Structure formats: C-alpha cells, structure tokens
Structure 1
C-alpha cells in the first residue's frame, strides 16, 4: 500500500442499487450480509409491519432468555410476521424492521427500485457480484455537490491505534488519518513517563494475556493488545536509557541519563521532543486545511501554512539563540514574523473589518502566540512524571533494601513491601502516564490537526439466520 493511502481514510464511492422490485428483499438481504454498504434512509418514515409487531412484543414484556437480547438476524425468505410475534422471535423481527426501514428509502419507478448509499471503493466489485446473483446492480455515482463522504479509518495493523483518534472525534473525509503516527507518539510519550524495564515487561505480559484472551471478561479489549505491547516496549526502551529495573536499583547501567540525577537535561529533552511533535502536527494541520478548503484558507489559517511557518520560525530562532548562532536566529525571527503576519491577515479577513475587526484580530493573535508557547512548554510534563515515576520506584526499593538486612522477619517484610509497593506505584504511574499522554495528544497535537468533524461510516450489517422452515417460512425459535 502506498504511504499516501496509509495516512488517508478509506476511499469511498457513492453508489446506486438498482433492482427489480420483486427482487428488492433478496437484494437487501445480500447487502445486509455483505456489511459494507451504508444505505440512505427515508426521513420520518412510518413504522413498518415488523416494527409495529416488535414494539408491541417488547411493550408486553413477554420476551425472555437469550432471544430477547439477541442481535438482529434476517431470514433468506420473507417470514410470517404474525407467527414471529406469536413465538416471540425478537431477533428476526428486529432484522425485518431494519429491512423495512431501508426498503422505505427506495425510489420506485414501474417495476424497478433504486437506493443510494456509500461503499468503500475497493468493495464495489465484490458487492456488485453479490447483487448480480439476485438480478440487481451496484452502479458507481458521482458524489453529490457539497456532500462529504462518510469517514472510515483504515483497518488492519494500525486499527489498535484508531480509538485514539475516534475518541477525540471523527476526522473529515478530506483529512489525513493520523492513527499510526498518533499511536507511535502516544506510546513514545508514555514510555518517557513510565520508563522502567521491569514495569514495561509487566505491560508486555498484560498484552500477551489479552492476545490469548485472558481474562475472558476483557475479551472485547483483545484488539488493543498491540497498543499495550507498544507501550510496554517503549517503557522498556526508556528504562534501558534511564538504567531502571523496578526503579533505580543499580541492576542496569545508565545508558543516557538518570532522571533523579539529571532532571534538567531530561526536561530539555522533553520540551525538544514536544517541539518536534508540534511541528509535525502543524505540518499535518496545514495539509488538512488545504485539502478541506483549498489554498485560499489553508495559507492563512493559524492551524495551516501560516501557523506552520510561524512555529518553524520560532523553533529556528530559539535554536539559534541557544547555540549562539546569529544567522539562524535572525532567519528564524524573520520567518516567525512573516508567519504571524499571514495569520493576522487570515484572522482579519474573517472579521467584519473596521476598528472592531482590528481589535478582535489583535486579541486572537495574542492568543495564538500565548498558546504556541504554553503548548510547547506543556511537554515538560513528560520529564516531570518520568521523574515522579523514578522517585516512587526508588522509594520502594530503598525501603525494601532497608528491611532486607533485619533478619528473617525483615526479609519477609521486604518482600511484602516490594510486591505491594511495586503494585501501587505501577498502577498509579501507569494511570497517570496514560492520562497525561492522552491529554498531550488531544490538546496539543489533535487541536492543530482537526478543525472540522466528519461523519463516521456506518454500514448496514445484519447476520443471516438459520435456513428457514419450508412449511411456515419462519425460523424455529424458542417462545418467549
């Protein structure tokens, strides 16, 4: 897959389903089984016959057992709705109610019915083949003017990282899909704050347990095991750099720095990393603004090209000043001023003009400058919580070694203190690091990527029922 596709949502196609009216139900059943077409639905449609019976059945409260909570299913042939109601077949009635709702949105002309919807472009040939067997056709259509396609983030290896993005919101269809870069940034920030080889190994064991489906009550979280494994690996790598194994125990050499002994250097590194991540977020935001609204808006937006130029100029000027290099400092200052001027122009164009517009522009420009500085310095929390993690683990280790030298009772107390203290520090710091990394991801990075929200792709999917009873055309089921 080209990298340009890996960082964009799944390409969607507007499609039309054209079918003889006599084959409409069979076609809809095939679409429901395929589970990759989002059909347009009729607005304010009256409940169909199946929906009325389903409401009546649920209103009587006569359903019981697994049938009352089972997901909707569809019979291959049209069932007897009255018999379904008598038997309390909620799942079948729910499936028929959904089918009726989709069928209500069909446009009928003579003997032909047509529906419109959205389908992933790569799935169009497969779905078309399924519908052709029922006498229907799936035809690509041009996208309606002014209507954005629904957004489907790419499944596959990076699917474990998509909750980071979807929890914040649904990206617009034109925007980049930042799932895997955001996931890598998250685990890197987590590892810096939770750097410890021993604690990271525990996270890896937790990821392995999820992968194997244990404990079973967490089975729904199984798809997140790569995410947890990535956090564990990042923590172990940072622990190797810090020389920490269940704290600064001295069992590992310090390859880079010890947080407790060199906090200033760790702080500078955290801010530098944050500046790099913010620069990448600005660049991605600039691409999104251009893809969303064209160069006219993308050039002047604070989260677009102008904001990127301002931030890069500031970074270059700061580097020049810190390294005592005059040329980079002057060049960076000039770029920052040019970027800020473009931002001011864009802000003023969005106002009504005049004195009030100028005052609004000045206030908003001041906010842009202040937020740029505070967002960069906010990454200092990576060092702060990395230092806190090392201090807590070090406290547990010092207490353990102090007790271990006091006889057999001291050894038992040391073991208890090490287990309980490690569990407490592990749970507390893992929670803090996870929340803080999420905060940096959302407020500092995603706020620059996304300005508009898209609509998630919701394909219609209903599983097929067991083969129908030829006598009654109803799937046998236990009465409620």
Structure 2
C-alpha cells in the first residue's frame, strides 16, 4: 500500500456482479467465499408482472455456522446427511439470489468492494461465466468505510483500528487518524503514568501479548501496541520525573519532580493540550474540505472559523503574557475574523431573521466557552500525574520506614511494597487509560468528525474444501 493510500479509508469501487441466470448460484458462491463485497440490501427480483418475487424460506438450520459447496448440492441429500451448515449456506445464497435484478437470462446484484480486490474477484467470476462490472459512484450516496488494516486484525495497523472504530465509523471522505490517535493516546497515558518501574511492567506485558502469552489472554492480543506504547512512554516520563516505583532514587531526575513542581507540570500539560488541539484542527480542516468544499471549510466551527478563534485567542494570550503588543493585536484580529466567519455559518444554519441572530449569538458564545474548557481539560494530565506520583511516594515512604527498623518489620516492608505497588499500578493504569481515552474522544475526535460514516460489512460465507457426497442414495 502506498503511503498516500494509508491517509484515508480504503478506496471503494461501486460494482455489479453480472451472471447468466442459470449460473447465478455459482457466481454468488464465489462472491461469498471471497468475502470482499458488500451487497446492497433491499434489492428485489421482479417477475414477469412487475411484482416482487417472494424470498425463499430459511433453512431449519438457522443457527448453524453456514458453509457452501462450489456447486449446487441436492438439498434433500444434505438434510439426510444432517449437514445443517451447508443447508444454512444454501439458504443464504438463495436469499441473495432472490434479490437480484433480472433481465431475460441475465441477473445482477450491485454493491461495494475495495478497488484492490476487483481484479482477483473478476478473474474468479470469469471461471463460471460471470463478470464484475465497475459502476459510477452514485451521487449523494456515501461509500462504506474500511480502515487500512481493519481486515487484517493481527497486523499492526489492524490492532490500532479499535481505538477509532469504538468512537464510530470514519466517514469515507475523511482522513484516517488511526496512527496519530494511537500516538496521542500513549503520550497522554505516559504523562499521567510516569514511572519507569511501572512502565517496565507494561513493556513486559506488551511483549507477552505480542508473543501470545499466556494463552488465556490471547483474546486481548490486539491490545499489544497500546500496552507496549504505554510502557515506552511511561518509562520515558518516569526517567524524566526521576520515578522508579516511586521516588526511590534508582533513576536520576532528568526534568522535574511532579510533587515538587506541580504548577510547572500543569503549564506543560496545558501546552501539550494546545498542540494536540491545533493538530486536531488541522486534520478537521482537511476533512471539512473533503466533505463539503469551501463553505464547510470556512464556516464550520471545526473548520477555519473555529481554528482562527483558537489560534487568535492563543496569540492574544501569548502577546499579553510576553508583553508583545504586535502579537496580541495580531491574535485579536485573527480571533475576530474567526468569530465573524463562525457567526455567518451559524446564522445561515439558523435561517436568518431575528431568531436566527439570537441563535447564532448563543452558538458563538458556546464556541468560545467550549474552546476554553477544552484547553483547560488537558490540565487533568498534570492532575493525574501528580496523583500517581503521590500514591507511589506514600507506598515508598511506608516501605522505607518499616525497612529501617529491620527484623520482622523488614518482611512486612516487602509485603507493603508489593501490595502497595500492585494497588497503585492497577488503579492508576485504569485511571490513566480512561482519562486518555476521554481526552481523545471528547476534545480531539469531536473536532475531527462532523458525522459518522458507514462501516464496510462484506458478505462472507466460507467455501468448504471437503468432499461431500450429495448424490441420491441407491435404492
């Protein structure tokens, strides 16, 4: 895959599966086995009088995992063999065939498939006299979204997809933020969970998940990039903070101690939030352009208007704080320009008139308030970083006090350290994970996506390779 193709959802093609009516079943079997086509729902076959032909009844094997054979079997023989999986597969093929559009001796079904899958599927269909026909993209219809790697769950890119997919389907026109979203997530996690000792535990856990160990946790294997990435950032910030299972002095402090410099940490946290919001606005502007052209780009709150207000207020604040009048004036001008653009968009959306003006004013006020709240919200990075450091310090101070007395209390100190570390690690890992996710979804993703897309759901029934004797038994 070229790097440019990885910037947005997989490019889709509008296609039609066209086959002679008498070989439609075999063509559909190949399509089902390939599992790369999402067939449009709701298509109905028309009979000679123009009415809709009834859909065949489902097989009694409604709960069997369906499978299909390369060619049409004898259904009575399958029932005698109690092959419920094959009966279910044939029932589903018949349902799809009933939805085909028929003209004379030709039948067709329309749908979507990844462009890269077209040549291979077309070659398979040619073996049964069918064809895959490219159709123009219908106006006003959004193609389904499939993120790069989403169909390869065990790949690195596929393991990152749930972070975005849990929020919602990325619109087909939008950029795919998956790699950047993962990087922002593990970075924010590391700031809140900065401890080299705890980070090394996460690194070991991530490596174990990647290796598929233990087997009882194999269903969580896809989480390895998050655990491993969180371990790396936690270890790095632990070294920067001078934290190794608390303030043990094992690693030197390279930057600041959270408990000694809480205000400084708070400023850096808000500064990082400002940078992340700026990046979110940059991606959002590109999305608005791809979705709706200049009008959406200029007037949407997540477009140029909102970004101008954000940048203008930031420039105004920086100019005042640094005593730079030119910067402050420039920031004020940019902010006012952004407010005017946003007001115009709100007024147009409200329909104009006096009521529209009032609604636009309220929306404008809400825009400014939300911007401020979004920036301040990143202060939680510092707050939970301080909480983590405080809990680790309490555990270490208690351990050290018991250890100094020696004797039996030294053994108690070991127990206190192990239990306290386990509680601190579990509690703070959960809190940091949830808070990083909250910042990702509410502060960043809410700007990236104006609407949600539609997930690509290909039709798939595996074709069995086993030989099944479906011939009628001899009497």
Same structural fold, with TM-score higher than 0.5 when normalized by the shorter chain? yes
Deviation at 1:406, TM superposition (A): 2.2
Query: Secondary structure, in 3 states, of the residue corresponding to 2:95?
Result: helix
Q: What is the 5 A alignment of 1:25-424?
A: 25-42=25-42, 46-49=54-57, 51-55=58-62, 71-155=65-149, 156-424=155-423
Deviation at 1:92, TM superposition (A): 2.0
> How does the TM-score come out when normalised to structure 1?
0.92
Residue deviations 1:10-36 (CA, integer Å, cap 9, x gap): 100001111122221221121122111
1:385 touches 1:433 (CA, 8 Å); kept in 2? yes
Deviation at 1:348, TM superposition (A): 0.5
Determine the C-alpha separation between the residues in 2 that align with 1:471 and 1:462.
19
Deviation at 1:126, TM superposition (A): 1.3
Determine the C-alpha separation between the residues in 2 that align with 1:175 and 1:7.
9
Change beyond 3 A, Cα 1:351–1:41: closer
Determine the C-alpha separation between the residues in 2 that align with 1:47 and 1:83.
22
Deviation at 1:330, TM superposition (A): 1.1
Query: Secondary structure, in 3 states, of the residue corresponding to 1:74?
Result: coil
- Corresponding residue of 1:65: none
Deviation at 1:3, TM superposition (A): 4.2
> How does the TM-score come out when normalised to structure 2?
0.93
2:43 touches 2:101 (CA, 8 Å); kept in 1? no
Determine the C-alpha separation between the residues in 2 that align with 1:27 and 1:94.
17
Determine the C-alpha separation between the residues in 1 that align with 2:290 and 2:238.
41
- Corresponding residue of 1:64: none
What is the aligned length?
460
1:41 touches 1:104 (CA, 8 Å); kept in 2? no
When structure 1 is superposed on structure 2, of 401-410 and 136-145 the one drifting more is: 401-410
Change beyond 3 A, Cα 1:229–1:473: farther
Determine the C-alpha separation between the residues in 2 that align with 1:443 and 1:153.
21
Deviation at 1:39, TM superposition (A): 1.3
1:53 touches 1:85 (CA, 8 Å); kept in 2? no
1:314 touches 1:336 (CA, 8 Å); kept in 2? yes
In structure 1, runs of 5+ residues without a counterpart are 59-67, 475-480
Deviation at 1:323, TM superposition (A): 1.9
Determine the C-alpha separation between the residues in 1 that align with 2:371 and 2:238.
31
Residue deviations 1:240-261 (CA, integer Å, cap 9, x gap): 1111111121111111111011
Deviation at 1:43, TM superposition (A): 5.4
Residue deviations 1:277-330 (CA, integer Å, cap 9, x gap): 111111211111111111112211111111111111122222222222221111
Query: Secondary structure, in 3 states, of the residue corresponding to 1:183?
Result: helix
